[in-house]
Amino acid sequence: MTPRYFKRILLVILAVVMLGLSVHYGFGNAWQSQYTYAFAPAAKAKQAPAPAPKSAKPPTVQEPNTVMTPKPEELSNRVVEYHISVHLVDDAKGLNGDQTVTWNNPGKKEVSELYFHLYPNAFQSDESTFMKESGGKLRQDEATLNSKGYMKLLTLETLDGESLLPRLQYVQPDDGNDNDFTLAKIRLPEPVAPGKSVTLRMGYEVKLPEVFARMGYSGDFVMAGQWFPKIAVYEPTGTRGRTAEGWNVHQYHGNSEFYSDFGIYSVRIKVPEAYTVAATGFQTKPIEIKDQMKVYQFYADDVHDFAWSASPDFVYEETAYSDKGIPGVRIKLYLDPSHAALKDRYMHAAKSALSSYAKWYGEYPYSTLSIVVPPKGANGAGGMEYPTLITAFAAEKQNPGYDLERTVVHEIGHQYWYGMVASNEFEEAWLDEGFTSYAEDKVMETTYGVESNLRVEASYMTDPAPLKQPSWAYGSHSQYAENVYMRAKLVLIGIENQVGSRTMQKILRTYFQKFKFKHPTSSDFQRVVEQVTKTKWHDYFSQYVYDDQMADFSIESIHVRPVTQDGANMYESIVLVKKNGGTNGDIKILMRFKDGSEVTKLWHAEESHMQYKLLHSTPLEWAMVDPKYSNVLDNKLINNYMQAQLPEDTRTRWSLGTVKLIEGLLGSLSW
């Protein structure tokens, strides 16, 4: 047997052993089951999805035709107002839209330019910033040959009929990519004074891509997310710490999601008669049917986006729900036929999430919540949040596990941290994704008894990075996801472990109540933590939010030697503990002797290392840092424990030998 094949056999043996340990300790599915964003079931690339079985749809389907009226109170500053008419055309592969948009100047200076996000242009070519950064992949969803799309502005004019299209200029403030057309600006004929407004009329067409990266078509199914020209956010002085007012504008990036101002949306949606439409907000008119077309009229206020979905195969269910903090909401399910039998699970997850979040953080003020379940093969539209509308994972499995509940719970959590608090996901995605992941875990634990394996999640943090930075500054999508979802959640749990669950709940409720509808920043959250706890948290935020540190502690060495004291034979044990990263509260060190007795020390970890000298009648057997694994930010648990019985040189040789063996096995992969 040649060394080459011998190495391969050793590699296989090592892989089997690691897989066995992974399965035994539940490591194998820890990321997938506890990290909703990272691993959605993937649609097969370049393959048309199989149509849902028509026989699975009940013969009589309830029609979503409940008409409601707006509430008189205003919850946000309502900077923008959209009146949109959109028509689904070209065999559900395109949109024709007209809109009148009014923008109110929230600042104290005249504004001469407007910026518009034209997100569908991300799919115009492989040279767009989004496609270059993502490589045509998002999560495990991959673009197909048909995943091309665009937005073309046909008209752009003032109320007086003056065309502004000649003034339109595509800009790329982040990377200077001349092939990116996702952000445009126009110079207005006259500046908009503070407190005044400007109204423009726009006509456009959208070519939908085969469903990918949150939008598009899959067979007859349509997901219209980020589908209309959207005005960017103009931030007055003081917003998110700004010292001078101005536009916050960015292109559509491979990692980034979105940031918009609050406002009013009145949207008329025209689809073929066989289709059912789910959308942000609620219907203000009964459905109109004429010439084999169906027209829906939706309205939403105090929201910062509008999304809709349509399919001829939706199985519709609706129920009214109220609870403490939920004055009354209609939960609407738009199920794929293959998941019609799972309606009770979807509804239970929605009610559990709404009830928990309302109790913990504050009232859910909207009158509807819609849940769309995409068909098999359309998971590019799955697992996404929009105001009052979420998408579950696609109906890939007939009997999904807790991923069904976890996804619904997670996306409803976004109604708070993305929908109402409305952080800037271009620049501080952790304030939405991390907070939502934290809240999701709480619901899954209290409602379903499903606890996250935080030790395993921390071990996945192989490439930590600062949380407060632009989404496209992360080196890869994996690094972005690990940090803004998982590491951000661990940072919040790290705070909770120091202050207690009751105080943590008070922190989050105070933060939500103070900053809902106000676009806060990381420093705003830090100030709330300090106000509630009456303690300075500068060092903690500096290490884990503004820097890339983890809180790794290790047993560095153990020395045991026999001594004589007062004529008695004793043993002196010296334990060296080292801090290899940031500080995360007091750290316990547990030391056990041969006779079974134990000593626990509490280290404040203000120094880089600590040495403990213990005198005992028997030798020290072992020492362990953080025996109860309360330090959730420790991503290298392998160095937390050390036995004392081996001589130091033997331990060193064994550790070095193990490393060399693994290096040799991995090196064989190059063959």
| Binding region for Zn(2+) | 410, 414, 433
Q: Could you list the active site residues? A: 411, 485
End-to-end CA distance of the chain: 16
String of DSSP letters for 464-519: ---SSS-GGGSSSHHHHHIIIIIIHHHHHHHHHHHH-HHHHHHHHHHHHHHHTTS-
Which CA distances in Å does 499 have to 406, 495, 532, 630? 27, 6, 10, 13
Q: List b or e across 19-34, with b for residues whose CB sees 16 or more CB atoms inside 10 angstroms.
A: eeeeeeeebbebbebb
- DSSP letter at 68 equals -
What amino acid occupies position 410? Answer: H
Q: Which two tokens stand for residue 210?
A: 């085969």
User: How many angstroms separate the CA atoms of 128 and 134, rounded?
Assistant: 10
Cβ atoms of 139 and 381 within 8 Å: the answer is no
User: How many angstroms separate the CA atoms of 264 and 224, rounded?
Assistant: 18
Residue tagged 């109860």 (tokens): 628
User: How many angstroms separate the CA atoms of 618 and 562, rounded?
Assistant: 9
Torsion on CA atoms 281, 229, 309, 145, rounded to nearest 10: -160
> Residues marked as binding?
410, 414, 433
User: How many angstroms separate the CA atoms of 70 and 301, rounded?
Assistant: 8
User: How many angstroms separate the CA atoms of 433 and 411, rounded?
Assistant: 10
